Amino acid sequence: MGKQYDLVIIGAGPGGYVAAKKAARLGMSVVIIDKGDVGGTCINRGCISTKALIHSAILYRDMKDCEKFGLFAEHVGFDLQKIYEYKDLSAAKMREDLEREFAELGIRAVRGAATIQNDRRVRTVLPDGTTEYFEGKYILIATGAKARMVDIPGMNLPGVMTSEELLTSNESRYRRLLILGGGVIGIELATVFNALGGEVTIVEVSDRLLPNMDKEFSDTLEGILTNRGIHVHKESILEEIVHKEEGLGCRYVCQGQNKEAEVDAVLVSVGRTANTEGLFDPDVPVKMENGRIVVDDFFATNIQGIYAVGDVIGGIQLAHVASAQATYVVERMNDVPPSVIVEMVPSCLFVPISIVPSCLYTDPEIASVGLTEEEAKRKGVPIRCGRYVMDVNGQSIISKEEQGFIKILFAADSDVILGAQLMCPRATDMIGELATAIANGLTSAQLMYAMRAHPTYNEAISCAVENSREQRSGR
């Protein structure tokens, strides 16, 4: 017989810890179990750690280039060890805040390896080797995902690593780094090591970086990265990694031509796979598909009382998506009207569109929500696209961050906002306004009701909306 709880949560990342806090505030008894520290991959070796490194790297580059502001700084340098200490302190602060909230809300946090048995019983092997059992009215699985490796000769060599290993290692400065994969994680870390003076090569199998992003933004970002000295090889396949006297040799085919690069390390960033290893006893008949847990529209598995959210079920693999799904599930458990949604059907469409913001913390930042022009064309949706180039934005001129532009899409007939893409400073903060606008079915006229302060980056939204209205009036 195990200890009884209303809710047993497995996984203490953004899905798990948000569910735990929400459930406790609604009066449920909660235990949350994780093999590692609370916060999961996101806080400890993912989102927060990456963004801390990006912040340090961009500050370093800005300090070297501060002469454009009339400032002079001699002997600007960095200590990678101290940068990693700053990253670790940032993660530790978030962990401490979470642990304090857990204590205040009466949430029990357990470190251990959890396995789900029949009758919603969870066997947990603790670090000291002892075993503890928990039983829940409900079980919520939020174990996330782990970095996917590829079957290429040399993948087991020292110096070949995933982002999680890179973010927890500070042994080398990695003067020469090859990144396999031109997705969000790969590009963000390419930005870091390039800004710190490293020679960075990106090898991407598709014909563009960020394959799911608006093509115009992808092409513009590639130009920016190339101008900063990052080597971008698209339509390329890494075939072998070999040991060299001073590092690693990477042999790859780029658009039909054989190439080789000598590097200090290889970062494998080709996606993530659901983390379900050891999660179920063999006689627990949970439905799986391609390694992920299958759930219905309410995030319920095929076993009554067991739910799953976040990366472990596939779909959009973002921390805020896991948190939104977890909130939705806990609210349903308690018969509370849902307070979050991740997609909607605008009044002018017959197909759902995502209102999940997607953010890239490069310089300039990139953020997107809703439909892109390409998606609208594929779905046969008539649109108007308002555009604004940031080089005449007052705040961009002041900060000399003049690269970038904004696109906002409206339904051609009903004028309802359908999507937005931003490439500019603070884009990741500004995208929330446009996600809210899509969720509420606002028109361009309604978006213009609100004044946006001057000078700000945010006022560029008004300019892009106004541009779309000029198209509508035929001016």
Per-residue tokens: 47 = 């989102």
E strand spans, 121-198: 121-125, 131-141, 145-147, 160-162, 176-180
The H or E element spanning position 418 is: strand 417-423
E strand spans, 231-339: 231-233, 236-244, 247-254, 257-263, 265-268, 272-274, 288-289, 292-293, 306-308
Instruction: Report the DSSP beta bridge partners of residue 408.
Output: 386, 420
| Helix residue ranges per DSSP H, 228-372 | 319-333
Per-residue tokens: 63 = 């300090």
- Cα 286 to Cα 303: distance, rounded to the nearest angstrom: 6
Instruction: Report the DSSP beta bridge partners of residue 332.
Output: none
Residue with token string 């000399």: 400
What is the dihedral sign for C-alpha 321, 323, 327, 333? Answer: positive
Mark 10-31 as b/e (b = at least 16 C-beta within 10 Å): bbbbbbbbbbbbbbbebebbbb
- Cα 49 to Cα 167: distance, rounded to the nearest angstrom: 7
- Cα 67 to Cα 76: distance, rounded to the nearest angstrom: 12
Answer whether the bond into residue 14 is a cis peptide, omega within 30°: no
- Nearest of 88, 87, 13, 39 to residue 309 by alpha carbon: 13
With contact defined as beta carbons under 8 Å apart, do 265 and 160 qualify? yes
As a whole number of Å, the CA-based R_g of the chain is 24
DSSP SS3 for 174: coil
DSSP SS3 for 17: helix
Residues with catalytic roles: 454
| Helix residue ranges per DSSP H, 262-350 | 319-333
